[in-house]
């Protein structure tokens, strides 16, 4: 072994390095190899030119070997910071990666080494940790938000978060946009928008609108109709209010990512609030502009942002039975509504209420989950729920048609329904994430439906799975409305094979949690979910925390997962953990944090399933607690690793 090392160090560039690169690093005597006498004689790896180290030796090393070298001395630590090393590992890695903002700043050529290392670390550590017996928070950050936070929505992959907030007196209300993962000391909003009242059910998404990449934010606020009922912001967001008391307004806004990236650069150079900071910020265009406003005297719920037929849309539930859809790319486009009241024969006398929905864009299908109730003799109430599908036709930019397809009715008293995101690539992505390699397809995402039931208390998990089909002999492709060729307005479709979703949803798991477990608050994910439990029956706005749980579905769609013609870049397929058939396990976070959330109550909780990040805000506490369940390198305000 020592002869090979001496050969590598004496010959410098050619055969010796080739031999050394074949040696498993743990078998090398690192203290001997990097001892000071060798450095003085020039016979150590850190004595070699950096281009030889990076392009010849590090090219042949595994990731764990590079991390081992990082701990040897400061010289090699600096070498391991070279961006080309981490970009090579990123190219070799074929598992699912966290998404990036869809701008050229985040493409492979412009990506900094610390960003490549962060993506790789998150991708390789999150699934293993989350699927383990005791998932633990690798990093905990306490952010002073300067506002009272009521709702948080993460943009996938880190970088940005949107929040609904108020001042300490609770007489002014705001939408805040924060920058994350930039190493700033403190966390100041990149931009602030004042709202007439508290924003409920806030959602945010990267979208491409009128040739611009940006973040679209949609939220709903409400007020008393007669103006005499006081401040509607004080009302709980967890209860259905009487129809004759409130007016509802949904607002959808857009901010350019180019503007946000300028603001990120300004925050790194100047302290917010200083004259130099304001000189730069005041010269920038206004960050947010309104795209759409929808007003209704009926309750508006669950805003969703999607590209449908290549056009950006916002979709809302108008209680009890209507879906409102509005095109965001057309100025002053009216919202068109779909009445989800098919002829169900035996169930036409039931009161039907839409609880959740999800667009399946490439299939032009709207998937709807409803609650059905009927009062019969002796005041007995029959409770059921249904899965319904509607075939959509977007004939013009201002109009859509919907045709009821099928309905499946199930028994159960439904408390809430949560549907996972589909995690398609971003539309017109400039970050280079759409570069599918080796003529492979992306894996079509599975739709997961989490149904919380009462009496008995249980969580039911359903799947709507993709099925690979042959368009030449599948009768569904004969319908011009459903054929892939008819949907080529969305160029992301070319990244996927011919497939169809199998409706109705199939139940894959039933978890009877009972009173000891507590009442669950479900934050859905694709094959995994975060579950917060509170005391049974507690529906207050800030319930005391009982516990936090990791939920996983151990098995995946094997037919697709094991198909070598697929590239798993965007599919959140879990690593094989050591949990076995244990679907739910408690998260490990410090006890003093748990005690604080139990004492104060949890005002809001959010999670980013792509990187394993959880945010919790306690009641009357102007701080955001960030728990990262993936290992993540940290940076200082100048972007250097710490």
Residue 339 above 80 pLDDT? yes
Instruction: Answer yes or no: is 598 within a domain.
Output: no
Examine residue 288 and state whether it is found in any structural domain, yes or no.
yes
Least confident of 71-75, 137-141, 437-441, 499-503: 437-441
Ranges 137-146, 148-157, 288-297, 490-499: which has the least confidence: 490-499
- Please tell me the distance from the alpha carbon of residue 314 to that of residue 333, in angstroms, as a whole number: 11
Measured between alpha carbons, how far is 229 from 468 in angstroms, rounded to an integer?
55
Residues 10 and 156 in one domain: no
Nearest to 96 by CA among 573, 631, 628: 573
Domain end residue (candidates: 339, 368, 400) = 339
In a domain, 260, yes or no: yes
The answer to whether position 17 is within a domain reads yes
User: Is pLDDT above 80 for 206?
Assistant: yes
Count the Cβ atoms, other than its own, within 10 Å of residue 206.
24
- Domain boundary (27, 54, 80) is at 80
Provide the residue range defining the domain that includes 218: 148-339
Q: Of 339, 369, 401, which residue is a domain's last? A: 339
Confirm whether 110 is domain-assigned: no
pLDDT bracket for residue 229 (50, 70, 90): low
List pLDDT tens digits, range 362-382. 888 999 999 999 988 778 889
CA proximity to 556, closest of 423, 458, 444, 459: 444
Whether the predicted pLDDT of 640 surpasses 70: no
Residue 636 is assigned to a structural domain of this protein: no
pTM value? Answer: 0.86
- Residue 540: predicted pLDDT: 85
What span, in angstroms and rounded, lies between the C-alpha atoms of 378 and 242?
25
Give me the chain's average pLDDT, please.
80
Give yes or no: residues 172 and 285 share one domain.
yes
Who has greater pLDDT, 241 or 529?
529
- Answer whether 539's CB lies under 8 Å from 575's CB: no
On the question of pLDDT at 413 being above 90, the answer is yes
**C-alpha separations of 202 from 6, 150, 303 in Å:** 63, 10, 8
Query: Burial of 348 by CB count in 10 Å (0-12 exposed, 13-18 middle, 19+ buried)?
Result: exposed
Say how many domains are in the chain: 2
CA distance 562 to 559: 6
Determine the distance from the C-alpha atom of residue 476 to the mean position of all C-alpha atoms in its chain, rounded to a whole number: 32
Predicted pLDDT at 560: 46
The reply to whether 274 and 182 lie within a common domain is yes
Identify whether 503 is part of a domain. Answer: no
Q: Does the pLDDT at position 160 exceed 60?
A: yes
Sign (positive/negative) of CA torsion 610, 612, 615, 616?
positive
């Amino acid at each position: 072994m020592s002869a090979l090392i001496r050969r590598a160090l004496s010959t410098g560039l050619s055969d010796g390095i080739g031999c050394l690169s074949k040696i498993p690093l743990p078998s090398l005597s690192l203290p001997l190899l990097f001892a000071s006498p060798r450095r003085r004689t020039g016979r150590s790896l850190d004595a070699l030119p950096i281009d030889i180290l990076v392009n010849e030796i590090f090219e042949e090393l595994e990731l764990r070997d590079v991390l081992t070298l990082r701990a040897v001395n400061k010289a090699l630590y600096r070498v391991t910071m070279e961006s080309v090393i981490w970009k090579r590992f990123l190219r070799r890695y074929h598992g699912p990666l966290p998404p990036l903002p869809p701008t050229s700043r985040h493409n492979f050529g412009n990506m900094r080494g610390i960003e490549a290392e962060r993506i790789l670390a998150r991708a390789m550590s999150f699934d293993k940790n989350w699927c383990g017996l005791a998932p633990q928070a690798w990093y905990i950050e306490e952010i002073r938000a300067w506002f009272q936070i009521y709702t948080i929505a993460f943009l996938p992959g880190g970088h940005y978060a949107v929040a609904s907030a108020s001042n300490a007196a609770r007489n002014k209300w705001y939408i805040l946009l924060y920058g994350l993962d930039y190493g700033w000391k403190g966390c100041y909003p990149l931009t602030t928008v004042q709202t007439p009242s508290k924003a409920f059910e806030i959602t945010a998404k990267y979208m491409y609108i009128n040739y611009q990449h940006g973040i679209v934010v949609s939220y709903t606020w409400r007020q008393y109709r007669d103006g005499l009922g006081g401040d509607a912001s004080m009302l709980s967001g967890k209860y259905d209010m009487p129809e004759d008391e409130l007016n509802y307004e949904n607002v959808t806004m857009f901010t350019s990512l180019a503007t946000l990236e300028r603001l990120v650069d300004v925050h790194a150079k100047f302290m917010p609030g200083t004259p130099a900071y304001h000189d730069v910020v005041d010269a920038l265009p206004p960050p947010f502009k309104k795209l759409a406003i929808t007003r209704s005297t009926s309750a508006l719920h669950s805003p969703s942002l999607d590209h449908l037929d290549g056009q950006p849309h916002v979709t809302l539930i108008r209680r009890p039975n209507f879906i409102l859809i509005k095109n965001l790319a057309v100025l002053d486009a009216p919202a068109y509504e779909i009445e989800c009241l098919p002829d169900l024969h035996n169930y036409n006398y039931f009161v039907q209420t839409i609880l959740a929905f999800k667009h399946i864009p490439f299939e032009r299908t709207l998937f709807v989950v409803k609650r059905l109730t009927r009062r019969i003799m002796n005041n007995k109430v029959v409770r059921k729920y249904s899965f319904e599908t509607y075939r959509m036709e977007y004939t013009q930019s201002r109009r859509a048609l919907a045709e009821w397809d099928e309905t499946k009715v199930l028994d159960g008293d439904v408390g809430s329904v949560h549907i996972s995101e589909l995690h398609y690539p971003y539309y017109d992505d400039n970050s280079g994430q759409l570069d599918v390699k080796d003529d492979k397809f992306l894996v079509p995402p599975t739709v997961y439906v989490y149904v919380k039931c009462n009496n008995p208390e249980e969580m039911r998990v359903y799947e709507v799975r993709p099925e690979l089909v042959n368009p030449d002999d599948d009768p569904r492709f004969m319908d011009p409305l459903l054929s892939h060729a008819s949907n080529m307005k969305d160029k992301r479709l070319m990244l996927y094979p011919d497939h169809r979703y199998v409706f109705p949803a199939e139940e894959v798991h039933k978890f009877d949690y009972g009173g000891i477990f507590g009442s669950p608050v479900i934050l859905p994910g694709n094959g995994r979910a975060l579950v917060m439990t509170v005391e049974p029956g507690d529906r207050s706005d800030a319930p005391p925390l009982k516990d936090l749980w990791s939920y996983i579905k151990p098995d995946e769609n094997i037919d697709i997962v094991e198909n070598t013609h697929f590239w798993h870049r965007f599919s959140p397929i879990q690593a094989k953990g050591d949990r076995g058939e244990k679907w739910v396990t408690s998260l490990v976070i410090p006890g003093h944090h748990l005690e604080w959330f139990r004492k104060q109550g949890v005002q809001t909780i959010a999670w980013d399933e792509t990187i394993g990040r959880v945010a919790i805000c306690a009641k009357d506490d102007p701080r955001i607690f960030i728990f990262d369940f993936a290992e993540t390198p940290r940076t200082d305000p100048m972007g250097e690793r710490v």
